[in-house]
Amino acid sequence: MLGRLNHVAIAVPDLAAATATYRDTLGAQVSQPQALPEHGVTVVFVDLGNTKVELLEPLGEGSPIAAYLERNPAGGMHHLCYEVADIRAARDRLAAAGARVLGDGEPRTGAHGKPVLFLHPKDFAGTLVELEQA
């Protein structure tokens, strides 16, 4: 069921500073910032060839990463995103196995324009997991 690692997401308090670190200190290819108001974040993608790092900064009130940044003011690893071929089939299989799907269980459109779901970190070794339909 599980496919490639699509991205590792890192929550950051200052997107411009984090982008500069990846671009200038690490010499990575970085995208322009992209505001995703429906997800409450602004995102920059770091292209690594085999996968991506997604830098996330809170956008607007009630951002889903605001509480994480309160606990981790310097930022930190927020979630891993794995690709699946059929997100509804993956959801149904996980739900049948007792895993908790966050929200109402319906896939939403993610940062890459593809359907995504999030899974409860307590069911996956303490790691928030995003599934994206490849």
Q: Is 46 in the site for Co ion (CB under 5 A)?
A: no
Least distance to Co ion, CB of residue 127, Å: 12
Q: Nearer to Co ion by C-beta: 65 or 94?
A: 65
Size of the site for Co ion (CB under 5 A): 3
Smallest gap, in angstroms, from Cβ of residue 44 to Co ion? 12
- Pick the closer one to Co ion by CB: 9 or 12: 9
Long-range contacts of 110-116 (CB under 8 A, 24+ apart): 110/39, 111/34, 111/36, 111/39, 111/43, 111/45, 111/54, 112/6, 115/87, 116/81, 116/87
Comparing CB distances to Co ion, the nearer of 94 and 132 is 132
Under the binding rule (CB under 5 A), the answer on residue 130 touching Co ion is yes
Stretch that binds Co ion, among 11-19, 29-37, 74-82, 95-103 (CB under 5 A): 74-82
57 lines the binding site for Co ion (CB under 5 A): no
8 Å CB contact between 108 and 118: no
All residues at 6 or more sequence positions from 16 whose CB lies less than 8 Å from its CB, including other chains? none
Give the footprint of Co ion on residues 9-38 (CB under 5 A).
9
Q: Pick between residue 28 and residue 77 the one whose CB is nearest to Co ion.
A: 77
Q: Which residues pair with 56 in a beta bridge?
A: 11, 43
In terms of Cα–Cα distance, which of 120, 82, 106 is closest to 1? 82
Q: Is 83 annotated in the active site? A: no
Residues annotated catalytic, as ranges: 130
